[in-house]
Structures are given as C-alpha cells and as structure tokens.
A and B are shown apart, each in its own frame.
Chain A
C-alpha cells in the first residue's frame, strides 16, 4: 500500500507533466505567445470585397507575419467591408502604406499583404489605410474573361443565335 506522501508525489508529478503538455500545445503547437500577449496597435482598412478573408488571418509584409486580422464588419453607409488589423508594436509602417488581400497558393487561405509607402510619419493606432486592393474573386475573373471573349466574337454569337 502506498503512503499518503508517495501518492501526493505521484499525483503532483502527473499534474505537472499534464500542465506541461497543455503548455506545449498552447505555445509550441499553437504559437499562443507570438501575438496575443505582445503589445499591438490597431489600424483599419476598407475594402470593396474581402473574398474569403477570416478573422485571425495573418497580416504579412515581405512574407513576414506582423499581425493578424482582429475584426471584420460591414459599413452600412459606404457599403464597404471594414477590416481591423492588429499589428505588433515592434513593427512601424509609413502612413501611406497600402493593403492588399492575397491568396497563398492558387486555392489557399487568404491573408493581407501590406506594402510600405514613403511617408515620414508612421501609422498610429486607430488610423485608416487609404490605399487598398480588394480580393480577387475567381467568379468575377472568369466573368470578365468570358465577357471579353464574347465581345471579340460578337458577330459569331449573333449568327448562332439566329
């Protein structure tokens, strides 16, 4: 039979390594530490169309993740999507930087790409980006493509219709 001390010791070890496993999952597997705890500042960007962008999508500059999308809502006055970006305070960008919605790979996740501008003043918390480029929507692309094709071969089209 175990004494109470031995029992406590084993349970203590169990709880410690269990908590260790949880910590490992949170920090090493999910990378909790990188942004949530660190200081961040919020800027906003308006887009005509955000495509499939989701909250927590990465914000990248030159391929480096510098922040995440923290909120997406719809502005009922201007009929635009307003995306709030939470950027790591270690990184500062000129006021006239621009944001694009990009896709990783052909069909991958969408993320926001920032391109630095040339202004001397830096973005502050609460600023809104002036220059944005919306997501490329595949259906629109195909639609445009078909439209231009149709315009090219307009006569042919009419003939067949007849």
Chain B
C-alpha cells in the first residue's frame, strides 16, 4: 500500500514538474518573442508573409464553415423558437450565439488545426534540418526572424477570421431563416439590431478572438521550437499543438465568458 502511494507520488511530482517546467519555459519564450518583435513591424513584409500563410490560406475553411454553422443555427433555432411563437427572434438567436461564442470559438478551433499545426510543423522542420542553427551561425536571431513574424501573423489574423466567420454565419442564418423558411425579413434584422450590443457583444467577441489568437500561435510556435529535431518529434509536436490549443481555447472561453457576460 505504502509502495503504491509512493509510486503515485513520484509519478505525480514528475508530471507536475515536467508541466510546470514546460510552462515556465514557454512563458520565457513568449517574453523573448515579444522582446524581439521589433523586426516584425519594422520590416512588416515578414509579418505580411505570415498573415498570408495563417490568414489568407485559412479563408476558405473559415468562410464555408461559418456559412454552414449559420445555416444549421437557422434551421434548429427556427424549430425551437416556433414552438414558443417567437420565430421573429431567430435573428437574435443566430447573431448572439455567433458573435458571442461560436464565431470566436469555432474559428479558433479551425485556426488551431489549419494554421497552428502548419506553424508548428514548419518551425519544427526548420529546426530538424538545422536551418535555425544555420541562421544563428549567420548572426541572425531565429526568434526575431522566424518566430516573432509567425506569432504576429497569427495574432493579427485571428480576429479578422473570427469576424468573417460570424458575418458568414449571420448571412447563413438569414438565408435559411428569411429566404428559405420565410421569417419576416424586417423583424429578423430589427430584433437582431435591438438585441445585439456593440460594446457588450461585438467588442467582447473581438477581444475573445484576439486572446485565442495569442494562445494558439504562442502554443504553435513554442511546440515547433521545442520539438525534438526528428521527423517523429515534429509530427508529435504538431499533434500536441492541435490538442493543447483546442483545450486552451475552450478553457479560456469559459473564463472570458464568466468575466465578460456574468461580471465575475
């Protein structure tokens, strides 16, 4: 009995030590990235390139998913609201769920698996093939030249992607609710406008997506930089990026929602 408890305790401290150590290392890495962010803005084309890879290349998946999520919300929402005779509130339901929750969260999850994994794989591969070492030997700081632009490219892309997702979703809800089912167009929009608040809903949604963007790209660049320099190490790091950043997005969403909408 005592032996088992001891074993568990040893395992526990190992795991905790490992994760706490990694978190500390990751934090130091983030601070280092922020400190060396000068070139990302002074030579903005470095960041523009990364916005292309993180943002533009995620456009299709974000737009299409947004449209479908909005259309499903339209169908399901109508079904439920019609039971209480308030199908005109469909616009409210679609827009509030998108702007407050689904837009930032689903866009962030898609972003993590589309752009986050690509960032990790690319940086991990650069490390495995000694490109980062070579850069360092050329007296060019890889954090400033490779990491920071990718970080900022992701951070700047995320809110735009989330806004596009929400807008597409509202449009999808409109297509299904108004065009297909025949909810009154006037009340669809006017009820929505009366219920959605700029400061409370839109701005909070943008803040959420910004926080998610920071979390995902931070995890992605860190996992890439920290990956063992082998093919297996890189592929594991890529998987870890998707898993950890998805969990981080969901957990952060709970915390942010509690702070923003419940005033905790």
Contact = CB atoms under 8 A, between A and B. Distances in A.
Interface of A: 2, 4, 7-8, 10-11, 13-15, 17-22, 24-26, 28-32, 34, 36, 56, 58, 65
Interface stretch (B32-40, B44-52, B237-245): B44-52
Given A4-B45, A29-B95, A30-B197, A21 B167 contact: yes
Q: Is the interface of A mostly helix, strand, loop or mixed?
A: helix
A65 B194 CA distance: 9
B51 A14 contact: yes
B55 interface: yes
Interface stretch (B71-79, B122-130, B198-206): B198-206
Contacts of A31: 193-194, 196, 198
B196 A18 contact: no
Nearest to A104: B194
B163 A25 contact: yes
A8 B95 CA distance: 32
Contacts of A25: 99, 163, 166-167, 170, 202, 205
Contacts of B48: 7-8, 11
Given A11-B56, A14-B55, A14-B56, A29 B160 contact: no
Contacts of A17: 164
A26 B157 CA distance: 19
Point out which of B159, B189, B194, B201 has the most chain A C-beta atoms below 10 A from its C-beta.
Answer: B194
A21 B163 contact: yes
Interface in B167-222: 167-168, 170, 189, 192-194, 196-198, 201-202, 205-206
Contacts of A22: 159-160, 163, 202, 206
Contacts of A14: 51-52, 55-56, 59, 157, 160
A126 B166 CA distance: 40
B161 interface: yes
Contact of A29 (B55, B56, B170): B170
B167 A30 contact: no
B118 to A, nearest CB: 16
A65 B201 CA distance: 20
Given A30-B198, A32-B198, A34-B193, 19 more contacts: A7-B48, A7-B49, A8-B48, A10-B52, A14-B55, A14-B157, A14-B160, A17-B164, A21-B168, A25-B167, A25-B202, A25-B205, A29-B95, A29-B196, A29-B202, A30-B193, A30-B197, A32-B202, A58-B194
A146 to B, nearest CB: 29
Contact of B189 (A11, A28, A65): A28
Contact of B198 (A20, A21, A36): A36
A11 B52 contact: yes
Nearest to A25: B202
A91 B120 CA distance: 58
Contacts of A15: 51, 160
B166 to A, nearest CB: 6
A18 B164 contact: yes
Contacts of A10: 52, 56
28 contacts: A4-B45, A7-B49, A8-B45, A10-B52, A11-B48, A11-B56, A14-B51, A14-B52, A15-B51, A18-B159, A18-B164, A21-B163, A21-B166, A21-B168, A22-B160, A25-B163, A29-B170, A29-B202, A30-B99, A30-B193, A30-B196, A30-B198, A30-B202, A31-B193, A31-B198, A34-B193, A58-B194, A65-B194
Contacts of B206: 22
B198 A24 contact: no
Point out which of A4, A18, A21, A24 has the most chain B C-beta atoms below 10 A from its C-beta.
Answer: A21
